[in-house]
């Protein structure tokens, strides 16, 4: 809240309180409205001044620095001084303030009563200060945590592009080394993929349609790499409408299937299925494991995607990975 609004609400509160007590006292009909206004305004200013003296000066100077005894002594001395000052003001209105039950009250009796009132205002200002500081600290902690998570997500996302680019360039290098006629087409596909990664993925979420097209481009690139001898059953079921998804979330699983699995066996094609509803996505990928490559963990790719799921979809996903003797299966259930 802006400081000007804080001042406004504080003034509104105190004016409302003074008006309320003036109204209550005036309803009793024991004194004139003019005298009540003078009394409550004068003594209200003194009590409110004590409230903010403690709120703005004593607490930051002593309590926040854990100088507890100095705080107690300062408050006691201030309460006594304020009590004497209020008694001097009360003498100006002694027929109203210094008379209780038809009897004149003495100095010490008034000082005790005044001290009680002053302690109440000090107590209220202390409670308010601690409450405000608590909420402020909570907000600071949340902001720091959000900044930490944003930095971690940026770091995780920055790992994806080099990781993907490294694998894709290896594929294109293999085509160029073989002098394949499909090399220009592969470079064009990679260009489309990189354009999406650089310009479309800056937001926290993207249209699911674009993300699915990105996956299709990657699969097409892999087919070019294998000389159109990559066998993959890619199916999308359900209607793609206006769903959004965190970008580059599924690619690591598909990369893993091509990198560590058998893609050129028509008898055991890579199975890739996506089932969609308005707010739910089910992702399934299964590949036959390569005989000479038992490292199906996917390196930093799958570690990365697990962490991103934890941060971006807490309690909204279920990830199952089955690393069996001959097959590697990933199933992801995600609430979009």
Which has the higher per-residue pLDDT, 183 or 158?
Answer: 183
According to the model, what pLDDT value does residue 283 have? 94
Question: Of 122-126, 188-192, 288-292, which gets the smallest average pLDDT?
Answer: 288-292
Pair 214, 168: CB distance under 8 Å: no
According to the model, what pLDDT value does residue 105 have? 76
Tell me the per-residue pLDDT of 9-49, one tens digit each, with 9 for 90 and over. 777 777 777 666 666 555 555 555 566 666 666 777 888 88
pLDDT at residue 154 is higher than 70: no
Question: What Cα–Cα distance (Å) separates residue 258 from each residue in 85, 163, 168, 247, 272?
Answer: 85, 14, 11, 20, 11
* Average pLDDT of the residues of the chain: 79
According to the model, what pLDDT value does residue 36 have? 64
Which has the higher per-residue pLDDT, 33 or 6?
Answer: 6
Query: Dihedral, CA atoms, 62, 67, 72, 78, nearest 10 degrees?
Result: -30
Q: What is the mean pLDDT of residues 188-203?
A: 79
According to the model, what pLDDT value does residue 162 have? 64
According to the model, what pLDDT value does residue 149 have? 66
Rounded distance between C-alpha atoms, residue 300 and residue 150, angstroms: 19
3-state secondary structure the chain: CCHHHHHHHHHHHHHHHHHHHHHHHHHCCCCCHHHHHHHHHHHHHHHHHHHHHHHHHHHHHHHCCCCHHHHHHHHHHHHHHHHHHHHHHHHHHHHHHCEECCEECCHHHHHHHHHHHHHHHHHHHHHHHHHHHHHHHHHHHHHHHHHHHHHHHHHHHHHHHHHHHHHHHHHHHHHHHCCCCCHHHHHHHHHHHHHHHHHHCCCCCEEHHHHHHHHHHHHHHHHHHCCCCCCEEEEEECCCCCCEECCCCCHHHHHHHHHHEECCCCCCCEEEEEEECCCEEEEEEEEEECCCCCCCCCCHHHHHHHHHHHHHCCCCEEEEEEECCCEEEEEEEEEC
According to the model, what pLDDT value does residue 296 have? 44
Q: What is the mean pLDDT of residues 72-101?
A: 80
Tell me the per-residue pLDDT of 246-294, one tens digit each, with 9 for 90 and over. 888 888 888 888 877 888 888 888 999 999 988 899 999 999 887 665 5
Which residues sit opposite 286 in a β-bridge?
Answer: 271, 329
Kindly give, in sequence order, each residue whose CB lies less than 8 Å from that of residue 71, ignoring residues fewer than 6 positions away: 58, 59, 62, 63
Reported as a pLDDT band with limits 50, 70 and 90, residue 297 is very low
According to the model, what pLDDT value does residue 320 have? 92
According to the model, what pLDDT value does residue 323 have? 86
pLDDT at residue 100 is higher than 80: no
Query: Dihedral, CA atoms, 291, 294, 299, 302, nearest 10 degrees?
Result: 90
Q: Give the residue among 221, 329, 234, 239 at the shortest CA–CA distance from 285.
A: 329
pLDDT at residue 112 is higher than 90: no
Tell me the per-residue pLDDT of 254-265, one tens digit each, with 9 for 90 and over. 888 887 788 888
Domains and CATH numbers, the chain: 3-142 (no CATH), 180-335 (3.30.565.10)
pLDDT at residue 108 is higher than 90: no
% of the chain residues with pLDDT over 70: 78
Neighbouring CB atoms inside 10 A of 18's CB total: 18
């Amino acid at each position: 809240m802006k400081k000007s609004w804080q001042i406004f609400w504080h003034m509104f509160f105190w004016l409302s309180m003074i008006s309320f007590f003036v109204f209550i006292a005036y309803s009793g009909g024991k004194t004139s409205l003019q005298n009540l206004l003078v009394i409550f305004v004068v003594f209200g200013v003194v009590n409110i001044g004590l409230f903010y003296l403690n709120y703005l000066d004593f607490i930051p100077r002593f309590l926040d620095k854990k100088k507890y005894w100095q705080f107690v002594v300062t408050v006691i001395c201030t309460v006594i001084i304020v009590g004497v000052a209020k008694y001097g003001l009360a003498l100006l209105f002694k027929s109203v303030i210094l008379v209780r039950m038809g009897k004149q009250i003495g100095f010490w009796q008034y000082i005790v009563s005044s001290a009680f009132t002053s302690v109440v205002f000090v107590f209220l200002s202390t409670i308010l200060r601690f409450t405000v500081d608590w909420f402020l600290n909570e907000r600071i902690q949340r902001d720091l945590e959000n900044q930490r998570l944003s930095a971690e997500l940026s770091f995780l996302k920055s790992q994806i592009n080099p990781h993907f680019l490294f694998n894709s360039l290896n594929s294109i290098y293999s085509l160029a080394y073989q002098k394949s006629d499909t090399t220009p087409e592969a470079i064009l596909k990679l260009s489309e993929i990189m354009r999406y990664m650089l310009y479309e993925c800056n937001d926290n979420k993207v249209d699911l349609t674009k993300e699915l097209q990105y996956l299709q481009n990657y699969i097409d690139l892999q087919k070019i790499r294998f000389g159109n001898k990559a066998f993959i059953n890619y199916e999308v079921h359900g209607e793609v409408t206006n769903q959004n998804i965190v970008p580059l979330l599924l690619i690591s699983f598909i990369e893993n299937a091509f990198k560590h699995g058998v893609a050129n066996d028509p008898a055991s094609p890579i199975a890739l299925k996506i089932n969609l509803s308005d707010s739910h996505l089910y992702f399934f990928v299964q590949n036959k494991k390569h005989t000479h490559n038992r490292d199906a963990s996917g390196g930093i790719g799958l570690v990365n995607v697990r962490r991103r799921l934890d941060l971006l979809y807490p309690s909204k996903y279920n990830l199952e990975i089955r690393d069996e003797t001959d097959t590697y299966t990933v199933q992801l259930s995600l609430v979009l």
